[in-house]
Structure 1
């Protein structure tokens, strides 16, 4: 086994998942730190209006990027399954197909993002005081969105092969570069809010370059070759089969969150700034959730590929429990120190008031958020991505939007809008618990269907 790949089908399940999840956690931590530094620097040098401009539609970026990231998840599932089955030829085809498909998706995202940014921001009821700054920031951001898409694809490839360390090294470098460029452009040169997006784009492109240099190294199971850089129709079909549900799921959830943010934006720039600030703080809660989820998905997928069904089940349970415990620990800290954390970004009384209100409404329920995401990760790793797609669309999109519309209709306050999150987390958790506890596929790892991943015979 190569030093830059890791076979997750051997060794103690718990230590294997922890060892794989730790570099992912650190990668996510550095990514969150430089996203946070971005907002801190903007707020410190440019003020509340600039912070509101950057925060005005963070959910918009997630909406446009999340679909393509879902296909990266699908590719990761396909790659890790064939890697677990020791099928190097199919691993190579899946990787090359994913790279080419990702480039196409990145170009499309750039065109759509740049062209329609003003329309999106106006539709989201962005405060007129910050609209121009928001347009400038997000247009620059989308100009470099191909870097964001390609980094996530490269990371999914390396993670699928059991290598969670190299993405960490590359992200540390790009994070430090992003912070340095933020300080230089905004603090040194005195440039406006758009320069923060430029700094982010440059750092993302740098991380992609490092990833590609590594993936083009010869003699590895995943070595890229220009002669193989084409789309294999069978592999693309598998990637879409497992990635499309995740992409659709992410997109519709993001759309629901856009609706939430649109209604929050209508409360004014202080509410908008507070919402964006809370999103940065909440990002730290997602660190253990996403770390264990990514590790669990890869672990389950590799072990199912190797037909280690009991091992996959044991690792899945451990991943779920770990994500729930660590997420709620961070949630408790976020609740206790809510005012201090919000004040780090903006010390205006109004922003702190709204930020603390949101924190105290949602943080006690982060264990529900973690549980829903964790079971969804297990489903994806088992090739059952349609299950979380249907649950999330029904609950996190349809019910969440209906609830928001009712709150707005009856002229409810911000606290009731914030309540949309824990309410839908609770409902999805109940559904996931029933599915995880009683469905055949979850507790049928020991006696799986014979054609769980098999191709149909001609």
Structure 2
């Protein structure tokens, strides 16, 4: 069966189901990757090592956010080129991304390795875990090219309409990490260095396997690297920079929300943290759908088939509503059980349960943001999506959460956030309906 899909024709709903499913599984595996890594470190090396990995992870997440930003740009450009047809444009932009990302990865790797300690000090890393965190971070920066590489290969395949093949690469990374973590940490007695090497080697194996697989199967028209034109570099940066800033806005917005939560003490903080871990899993279907509609819409925008883009948006919103309502009902019924998977303290469980039961009703509206912003992103209107994210987090979510919490107490945290989901989905719809993103032409 042909793995790559031409989304400019065929049954949209069936394509969306088949295409988003493997993306969801891939996201689940990536989530389990981080979870398993923390389990091994915490159980084999103790709380101090786990804290060191956690602090380092904050910096690595910022780097990953930047990578995701560049990959969002790649998804937009390459999916439109796929829709336009012919390999020439696709080859040129693939080459430009490979050259630019390699240069950025090498520069980031050197910078991160040299300034690891300074970065950790900026975060106020405790002296007791500074050395472990520094070593862990430096090793990860040495292997940053692998992180760039295997994420980019997965993005290329999705742009071409193939969401199954990236699942292979992530599976390799997860399975390798499961084996290598205890081997390097405990058997070889490398301690926290072993945890870092396990991560880098796992990502390296996924990248090498992915590259060989793509070349052998001729799934993407990669060519020998050549210096790209300024036009290609400019377009990539013009989309990649605001896309990376979107992730920074989201990250900073989450930190601002936490500043509201901490006012209510340890029990609420613990309950909120447990609820957030569940939130990250609950929203995976909406994230998968967002990636799917970006790829599907991108191909159709490439051939200016806006009527089909409208249908992709409609099916995406309906699919999101159906699945998020089912998940919401499930969460309302089993909120307490979910929180108790992470924590047993009565005050924390009580807050976490209450928070989830309120916020569950608003999940479908947050999903609408993901879907409609994914369509806008597919056109290349990255600055507009950046503005929508600033509006969502800094004009609505943080102020409303602060206001409701101030007036209603801890229950106001969920009410404020849920209200912001509903209002921001309205803004997303209004821009999708009346915005000028349809006039954007990336390849003039």
Q: TM-score, normalised by structure 1?
A: 0.82
Q: Kindly indicate whether the alpha-carbon contact (under 8 Å) linking 1:137 and 1:197 is maintained by their aligned counterparts in 2.
A: yes
Q: Which residue of 1 aligns with 2:247?
A: 250
Task: Kindly tell me the number of residue pairs found equivalent between the two proteins.
Answer: 444
Q: Structure 2, unaligned stretches of length 5 or more?
A: none
Per-residue CA shift, 1:265-298, capped at 9, x if unaligned?
8999998776665554333223211211111001
Task: State the 1:130 CA deviation.
Answer: 5.9
Partners of 2:192 and 2:214 lie apart in 1 by 34
Alignment of 1:430 with 2:418, yes or no, is no
Distance 1:430 1:241, change over 3 A: same
Match among 227, 232, 235 for residue 229 of structure 2: 232
Q: Which residue of 2 aligns with 1:302?
A: 299
Task: State the 1:94 CA deviation.
Answer: 0.6
Q: Kindly indicate whether the alpha-carbon contact (under 8 Å) linking 1:38 and 1:196 is maintained by their aligned counterparts in 2.
A: yes
Between 92-101 and 192-201, report the one with greater CA deviation.
192-201
Written as runs of structure 1 = structure 2, the 5 A alignment for 1:46-445 is 46-47=45-46, 50-56=49-55, 58=57, 60-124=59-123, 134-186=133-185, 188=187, 192-193=191-192, 195-217=194-216, 222-226=220-224, 228-261=225-258, 278-345=275-342, 356=353, 359-360=356-357, 362-397=359-394, 400=397, 421-436=417-432, 438-439=433-434
Report SS of the residue matched to 1:216.
Answer: helix
Per-residue CA shift, 1:206-238, capped at 9, x if unaligned?
111122213434855x33232x44323222222
Task: State the 1:397 CA deviation.
Answer: 3.9
Partners of 2:327 and 2:29 lie apart in 1 by 16
Q: Structure 1, unaligned stretches of length 5 or more?
A: 443-447
Between 390-399 and 155-164, report the one with greater CA deviation.
390-399
Alignment of 1:25 with 2:24, yes or no, is yes
Distance 1:392 1:335, change over 3 A: same
Task: State the 1:168 CA deviation.
Answer: 0.7
Task: State the 1:154 CA deviation.
Answer: 1.2
Task: State the 1:53 CA deviation.
Answer: 4.5
Report SS of the residue matched to 1:61.
Answer: helix
Q: Kindly indicate whether the alpha-carbon contact (under 8 Å) linking 2:328 and 2:361 is maintained by their aligned counterparts in 1.
A: yes
Task: State the 1:6 CA deviation.
Answer: 2.0
Task: State the 1:56 CA deviation.
Answer: 4.8
Q: Kindly indicate whether the alpha-carbon contact (under 8 Å) linking 1:400 and 1:424 is maintained by their aligned counterparts in 2.
A: yes
Partners of 2:52 and 2:408 lie apart in 1 by 25
Task: State the 1:10 CA deviation.
Answer: 1.6
Task: State the 1:250 CA deviation.
Answer: 1.4
Partners of 1:344 and 1:188 lie apart in 2 by 29
Q: Kindly indicate whether the alpha-carbon contact (under 8 Å) linking 1:25 and 1:288 is maintained by their aligned counterparts in 2.
A: yes
* Higher share of residues assigned helix: 2
Task: State the 1:374 CA deviation.
Answer: 1.4
CA RMSD of aligned residues (A): 3.7
Report SS of the residue matched to 1:453.
Answer: coil
Distance 1:32 1:317, change over 3 A: same
Distance 1:192 1:161, change over 3 A: same
